[in-house]
Amino acid sequence: MLFELNKSNLAKIDGLIAKEIAKMKIGGLSYAIIRDGEIVHKQGFGAKNLDKDLPADENTIYNIASVTKSFICSAIMILVDESKIAITDPAKKYIPLELGTESNPITIKHLMNHTSGIPDLANATFFYYMAREGLTIPPHAKLVPMSSENDFFRVINNGLEYSHEIDQYFHYNNYAYTMLALIITKVCGKDYREFIKERIFEPLDMKSTTFFPEEFKDNENLAQRYHVNPPDKGGNTRKIGKFDGNWFIAAAGGIYSCVKDMSIYMLMHLGKGSYRDIKVMSKESSNLMQTNSIKPGTMADKYLRHYSPLKSVGYGFGFFTNSNFYGFNSVRHGGNWFGGTADFIFIPSLKIGIVALANNLLGPRPVISSILAMIAGTPEDEIHFLNERNHFLKLTGIYEGYNETERLKISGEFLTLRVEEIEKYEFALPPTVFFPLNEDEMEPMEFFN
Last residue of a domain, one of 378, 407, 428: 378
CATH code assigned at 250:
3.40.710.10
**Same-domain pairing of 125 and 59:** yes
**Same-domain pairing of 387 and 370:** no
Q: Where are the beta strands (DSSP E) in 221-351?
A: 225-228, 237-240, 256-257, 274-275, 278-279, 313-315, 320-325, 328-337, 340-347
Least confident span in 224-238, 273-287, 347-361, 397-411: 397-411
341-377 pLDDT per residue, tens: 999 999 999 999 999 999 987 778 889 999 999 999 9
**Same-domain pairing of 411 and 374:** no
End-to-end CA distance of the chain: 41
Round to whole Å and give the CA distance between 248 and 265: 24
**Same-domain pairing of 37 and 167:** yes
Mark out the alpha helices in 149-246 (DSSP H runs). 149-157, 174-188, 192-196
Range of the domain at 331: 1-378
Residue 147 has pLDDT above 60, yes or no: yes
**Same-domain pairing of 42 and 127:** yes
**Same-domain pairing of 372 and 399:** no
**Same-domain pairing of 348 and 400:** no
208-237 pLDDT per residue, tens: 999 998 888 888 999 998 877 655 556 667
> Which among 34, 15, 8 has a CA at the least distance from the CA of 372?
34
Q: At what angle do helices 174-188 and 122-132 cross, to 10 degrees?
A: 100
In this structure, what are the phi and psi dihedrals at residue 107, rounded to the nearest 5 degrees?
-100, 170
**Same-domain pairing of 5 and 73:** yes
The model's pTM is 0.84
Evaluated on CA atoms 225, 231, 236, 238, the torsion sign reads negative
Q: At what angle do helices 365-375 and 7-23 cross, to 10 degrees?
A: 170
**Same-domain pairing of 174 and 299:** yes
**Same-domain pairing of 285 and 371:** yes
**Chain-centre distance of CA 22, in angstroms?**
21
Percent helix / strand / coil, the chain, rounded to 5: 35, 20, 45
**Same-domain pairing of 366 and 387:** no
91-118 pLDDT per residue, tens: 999 999 999 999 999 999 999 999 999 8
User: For the chain, how many structural domains are there in total?
Assistant: 2
